[in-house]
Amino acid sequence: MTNRKNMGIIITLLLLINGLDLFYDNAPFIFSDESIILKNNDESEPSKIKLSNQGYINYNEQELFWFIHITDTQFVWSTNENIDNFNQLLNVTFKEINPLFIYNTGDLVDGNRGFQQNVDEWRLYKKSLEDNNMNSSIYIDLVGNHDVTLNPNFNYYLNYSMIGRNFNTLQYSFNKSFSFGNYAFIGLNTVKNSYNLIEFGWYGFLNTTELDWYEEELEKYRNFDRIFVFGHHSHNSPPPYLIISDLSSSGKTFFEINEEYNVFCYLSGHVHGNTFRKDSNLLMITTRNFDHNDGTYRIITLDHNQLSTSIEYVGKWPQTVITYPSSESSLIQGKSKIRVLSWDPLGINSVKWSIHSINNESQITNWEPLSNIDPNEPLWEGDLDVHLGGKFLLKIKVEGGSGVALKEIIFYSKNDRGFSFLLVFIVIIIALISISIVILNYSKIHILKFKIRRKAKLESEHNKIKGQITKLKSYDL
């Protein structure tokens, strides 16, 4: 009887764990999860991941690169349709967009809803990578909490994932240099090898060993133009969705290390929602689970060290990103450039721009065309001369062989607004001064006329009196 009662308690706890995980995986907007013990890379230099020559443009004044971020592919392996969408991303989408790389930030597999690892899922994952000729120079994957359930040694990740089987590590870094700058990409292990009921669904973790490795890598990249960091769990969000950080040997938390080394951007998943936030100087981006809407991914671009991003869906063309003005800083000051990346397997026919009111009720300018800088490149460019002051929508219309795509960003013309205000202020002051001068002159003229009339009147009266006196004198005689 006691054994049955204990078994019932165990089954109930397992159902609760699965129920919590189910809530998490289907939540439209959640933040952080759990972490893992790092298997440290013993190399003194960053991991040698060679990047290909794709995914960037360095032509005259155009200096930009782009890559794809995906995450939480855990539900892909449950249906053939999802598997087909993942294969299409690795094949058609990858070839068309031609990014520097695809970066997957974990939960590569589901792990039977968090109960145990399923080798069939791992085999399907590995097969998709191999069938589509992915390698560690163009496809990078991190470990997520679903990838380590009841597998404290990370054997499945190390044997089936791209980074695990090629580098036998859970944390690694690589860099890419162009003539226009140096850029670092660091992958962190934010999961841990065992969880209790609460931890599995809510927290990420970084221990001292992981943080020491992270700090050493950042020191190598201290003078780089931009540092991108990737992890499965979101960086920092309202509790309980956050990364729980130990202290590094230097006495710093994960968050303090990011601030000290001026980390530019942290990309993650786990929350099954698309978010874009900025805290101090750090951009924090999460992308939705890949299976959502038949294949969700994010294109990240860096144009003159300004970041832009666009959520896209597998097989839905054309696809486009407004790289400048950027998503990070959309302040337009006077004359500016518009730059747009656009792709369509059936070709791009035209890319146009227009300015609209912020409430989208009125179109302020006509649609103007952008020019393709080179038939072999996806970059379109044009001039934008902003004389308006305030807050507006910049809309981009892309017409391709597969259809039409519209994108928009909010932009501000701060300087113009300030100039307009100053101009109005100056005009008012000049008007007031002019009115004062006019009034003053009018007063002077009026006073002068009054004095002339008074003098004339006095002279008239004086002459009249003189006449009367003369008359009186004649009577006396």
Q: Which residues pair with 185 in a beta bridge?
A: 174, 228
Q: How far is CA 232 from the centre of its chain?
A: 17
- Would the pLDDT of 412 be above 70? yes
**Distance (Å, rounded) from C-alpha 409 to C-alpha 322?**
8
- Give the count of alpha carbons within 13 A of 404, CB side only: 5
Count of alpha carbons within 13 angstroms of residue 180, beta-carbon side: 15
Task: Give the pLDDT confidence score for residue 416 in this predicted structure.
Answer: 45
Q: Which tokens in the block code for residue 227? A: 């540092």
Query: Once rounded to an integer, what is the mean pLDDT over residues 109-128?
Result: 91
- Span 368-402, pLDDT tens digits: 999 999 999 999 999 987 777 788 899 999 999 99
Tell me the residue ranges of DSSP E strands in 156-281: 172-178, 181-187, 203-206, 226-230, 242-245, 265-268, 275-279
Residue 76 has pLDDT above 60, yes or no: yes
Q: pLDDT-based confidence at 87, cuts 50/70/90?
A: very high
Measured CA to CA, the distance from residue 39 to residue 189 in angstroms comes to: 9
Alpha-carbon gap, residue 437 to 177, rounded angstroms: 65
pLDDT of residue 27: 31
- Amino acid of residue 76: V
Average pLDDT score over the chain: 83
Q: Which residue has the higher pLDDT, 173 or 426?
A: 173
DSSP annotation of 399 reads E
> What amino acid occupies position 315?
G
Between the CA of residue 250 and those of 208, 243, 256, 257, 392, what are the distances in Å?
Answer: 10, 19, 11, 10, 47
pLDDT of 333: 61
pLDDT of residue 390: 81
Cα→Cα distances 385→171, 334, 362, 413, Å: 46, 6, 19, 10
> What would the pLDDT profile of 431-473 be if each residue is shown by its tens digit?
667 676 666 665 566 666 656 666 666 666 666 666 666 655 5
The DSSP symbol for 40 reads -
Please check whether residue 143 is in contact with residue 233, taking contact to mean a CB–CB distance below 8 angstroms: no
Tell me the backbone φ, ψ of residue 132, rounded to 5 degrees: -105, 15
SS3 label, residue 409: strand
Q: 358 vs 424, which has greater pLDDT?
A: 358
pLDDT tens profile 155-168? 999 999 999 999 99
Which residue segments constitute the domains of the chain, with CATH numbers given? 2-316 (3.60.21.10), 322-416 (2.60.40.1220)
Q: What is the pLDDT of residue 434?
A: 67
Higher pLDDT, 314 or 1: 314
Report residue 315 as tokens: 């097989």
The confidence score (pLDDT) of residue 38 equals 27
Q: Is the pLDDT of residue 327 over 90?
A: no
pLDDT, position 28: 28
User: 6 pLDDT band (50/70/90 cuts)?
Assistant: very low
For residue 37, the cross-strand partners are none
Alpha-carbon span 301 to 303, nearest angstrom: 6
Specify the pLDDT at position 451: 61
Other Cβ atoms less than 10 A from the Cβ of 427: the count is: 10
Q: How confident is the model at residue 92 (pLDDT cuts 50, 70, 90)?
A: very high
Which pLDDT tens digit goes with each residue over 138-151? 999 999 999 998 88
Q: Strand 242-245 to strand 226-230: parallel, antiparallel, or no bridges (unpaired)?
A: unpaired
- Which uninterrupted H or E stretch holds 139? strand 139-141
Q: What are the strands, taking DSSP E only, across 271-329?
A: 275-279, 282-286, 296-303, 306-313, 319-324
Percent of the chain with pLDDT over 70: 74
Q: How far is residue 35's CA from residue 145's CA, in Å, rounded to a whole number?
A: 7
- pLDDT > 50? residue 48: no
Over residues 411-419, the mean pLDDT reads 59
The 10s digit of each residue's pLDDT in 220-234 is 999 999 999 999 999
Q: Which residues pair with 227 in a beta bridge?
A: 184
Look at residue 32 and tell me whether its pLDDT is greater than 50: no
**pLDDT at position 47, please?**
40
Q: Does the reported pTM lie above 0.85?
A: no
- Asked if 176 and 55 touch (Cβ cutoff 8 Å), the reply is no
pLDDT higher than threshold 80 for residue 170: yes
State which H helix or E strand residue 26 sits in. Answer: helix 2-26
pLDDT in tens, 254-284: 999 999 999 999 999 999 999 999 988 999 9
In the chain the first and final C-alpha atoms are separated, in Å, by: 161
Residue 34 pLDDT class (50, 70, 90 cuts): very low
